[in-house]
């Protein structure tokens, strides 16, 4: 193996790591890990160990925090962060400048866009798609195959059902349960959630001109 070493490191002999990688103790790295410039891998993280042999790409400046698990076949974009004890399952994609918070699970094959924020204890189901600039609050659950549009905001402890689509710039109030499509800019409240009004122009991430 070439590149930096740290106490308790478990890594393939033929693994090549960049010299500026910040590497914590007791890290496990699979044979397919490829890290860009300026990456950081903190104590106890596991990257690409399962399934074995599948490539993992960490973009420039990406960080995998303490005791996080990044499975094989995952791509982590430039400057993205995988938080403490988070889990990113096989084949998932995390876009540039996005943050996966503490104890978050990103399911197999999920697609997370750029500049997304997934707060603590969020669950993103397998195959789900989260658009650029979306925000998902603490303990929210996004079902398998669901689609969150660009810049939508999902409140704490909300639930988005399996295969449900949430439109761009929609807002789900804390605790909302959405089992059917929510239109773009819809403000959804309640269990089951109902469309009570639209997000006003002044609150849109991209305001009409």
* One-character DSSP codes across 28-79: EE-TTEEE-TT-EE-TT-EES-SSTT--EEE-TT-EE-TT-EE-TT-EE-TT
With respect to residue 105, please indicate whether it lies within any of the assigned structural domains.
no
Q: Are residues 116 and 159 in the same domain?
A: yes
pLDDT tens readout for residues 147-161 = 999 999 999 999 999
Residue 30 has pLDDT above 50, yes or no: yes
With respect to residue 43, please indicate whether it lies within any of the assigned structural domains.
yes
**Residue 90 maps to which CATH number?**
2.160.10.10
Q: Are residues 128 and 191 in the same domain?
A: yes
Q: Which residue range(s) make up the domain with 181?
A: 110-209
| Total domain count, the chain | 2
Contact 143, 164 (CB under 8 A): yes
pLDDT tens readout for residues 139-194 = 999 999 999 999 999 999 999 999 999 999 999 999 999 999 999 999 999 999 99
For the chain, the average pLDDT equals 94
Q: Which of 51, 70, 96 is the last residue of a domain?
A: 96
Residue 75, both tokens: 């791509």
The total of other beta-carbon atoms located within 10 Å of residue 111's CB is 18
With respect to residue 103, please indicate whether it lies within any of the assigned structural domains.
no
Q: Are residues 131 and 74 in the same domain?
A: no
Q: Are residues 42 and 77 in the same domain?
A: yes
Q: Are residues 137 and 91 in the same domain?
A: no
Residue 12 bridge partners (DSSP): none
pLDDT of residue 209: 44
The total of other beta-carbon atoms located within 10 Å of residue 15's CB is 18
Q: Are residues 4 and 88 in the same domain?
A: yes
pTM tops 0.85, yes or no: yes
Q: Are residues 116 and 192 in the same domain?
A: yes
* Residue carrying the six token digits 């499975």: 71
With respect to residue 2, please indicate whether it lies within any of the assigned structural domains.
yes
Q: Which of 61, 96, 131 is the last residue of a domain?
A: 96
């Amino acid at each position: 193996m070439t590149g930096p070493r740290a106490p308790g490191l478990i890594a393939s002999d033929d693994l090549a790591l960049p010299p500026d990688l910040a590497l914590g103790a007791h890290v496990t790295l699979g044979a397919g890990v490829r890290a860009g410039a300026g990456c950081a891998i903190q104590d106890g993280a596991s990257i690409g160990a399962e399934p074995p042999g599948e490539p993992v790409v960490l973009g420039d400046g990406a960080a995998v925090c303490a005791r996080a698990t990044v499975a094989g076949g995952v791509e982590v974009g430039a400057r993205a962060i995988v938080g403490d004890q988070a889990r990113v399952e096989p084949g998932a994609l995390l876009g540039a400048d996005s943050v996966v918070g503490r104890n978050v699970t990103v399911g197999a094959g999920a697609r997370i866009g750029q500049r997304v924020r997934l707060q603590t204890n969020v669950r993103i189901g397998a195959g789900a798609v989260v658009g650029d600039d979306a925000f998902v609050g603490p303990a929210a659950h996004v079902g398998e195959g669901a689609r969150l549009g660009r810049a939508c905001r999902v409140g704490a402890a909300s639930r988005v059902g399996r295969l449900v689509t949430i439109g761009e710039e929609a807002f789900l109030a804390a605790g909302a349960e959405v089992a059917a499509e929510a239109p773009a800019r819809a403000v959804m409240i309640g269990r089951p959630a109902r469309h009570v009004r639209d997000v006003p122009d002044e609150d849109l991430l991209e305001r009409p001109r």
